[in-house]
Amino acid sequence: MSKAIILFGHGARNPDWAQPFHRIRASMERQQPGVLIELGFLELMRPTLDEAIDGLVARGANEISIVPIFMAAGSHIKKDLPLMVGSALDRHPDLAVEIAAPVGEADYVIDAMAKYALN
Amino acid sequence: MSKAIILFGHGARNPDWAQPFHRIRASMERQQPGVLIELGFLELMRPTLDEAIDGLVARGANEISIVPIFMAAGSHIKKDLPLMVGSALDRHPDLAVEIAAPVGEADYVIDAMAKYALN
């Protein structure tokens, strides 16, 4: 039994766009060494969410928490993501997947963004 | 001489999508009462960035800091936003506008998102 976390992002054409995602992963690894983390993108960047899930299952994960690194839940989170997760569960019937609320909805993330905007 | 801050967001069809932006503004007002803040959206939501700028100027602002509430700087930040700011400066020649780095690039925002993703 092994748990993993996927940071789910939108993706963009410019490779620099992924930098904050790599920084979030690095910060998580500092806060909790040994945690199994993968990035997974909706479009335009690799690995895709499908590739991230399949790769983690291949490494032994049977529980995956998907954390949307989005400001808020729009149609990508409410419609596209559940469809992608449904398809992954068809491929991996023993996998458990949890979809978290978007990171932009967490109180202390809100407060950190407010602090930044004031400076 | 009066300073103001605009929280610049993408916008979406669903009105719920704006909730985190209202929460960031409320958190800023708690942290620094009296600060002049407006939301301004790229598309699909009101006020637009233009409307936010014009409204703040009408209220006496002559310095505006625009803080992109985006995870990272993609083409909306690198291309669309400077064009919109250029057009606003044509309308308001005495206005000073600063464009901040996207909120998702700030260290403590990264750390807060990492903490959230671990829980």
Q: What is the ipTM of this complex?
A: 0.94
Quick one: pLDDT band at residue B75, thresholds 50, 70, 90? confident
Share of chain B above pLDDT 90, in %: 87
Counted residue by residue, chain B has a size of 119
pLDDT score of B72: 86
* A22 is a catalytic site residue: no
Q: What is the DSSP letter of A34?
A: T
| Residue B5 to residue A69, Cβ atoms within 8 A | no
Give the CATH number for residue B7. 3.40.50.1400
Rounded alpha-carbon distances, angstroms, from residue A58 to A4, A53, A89, B49, B88: 12, 9, 14, 46, 52
Residue A103 has pLDDT above 90, yes or no: yes
When the pLDDT of each residue in chain B is averaged and rounded to a whole number, the result is 95
Q: Is the pLDDT reported for residue A69 higher than 80?
A: yes
pLDDT at B110 > cutoff 90: yes
C-alpha–C-alpha distance, residues A30 and A62, integer Å: 23
pTM, two decimals, is 0.91
- Please report the residues numbered 12 through 71 in chain B whose beta carbons come closer than 8 angstroms to any beta carbon of chain A: 12-14, 16-21, 23-25, 27-28, 31-32, 35, 37, 67, 69-71
Point out the residue among A12, A110, A111 whose CB comes nearest to the CB of B74.
A12
Mean pLDDT of A39-67: 97
Q: Could you tell me which residue, B19 or B72, shows the higher pLDDT?
A: B19
The DSSP code sequence of A42-89 is SSSSSSBHHHHHHHHHHTT--EEEEEE-SSS--HIIIIIHHHHHHHHH
- The model's confidence at residue B1, banded by pLDDT at 50, 70 and 90, is low
**Which range of residues forms the domain containing residue B29?**
3-118
How many domains are contained in chain B? 1
Integer Cα distance of A116 and B107 in angstroms: 9
Query: Model confidence over B15-38: pLDDT tens digits?
Result: 889 999 999 999 999 999 999 999
Which residues of B are catalytic, by number?
Answer: 10
Residue to substitute from B45, B71, B98, interface A, most A β-carbons within 10 A: B71
Please state the rounded mean pLDDT for residues A53-62.
96
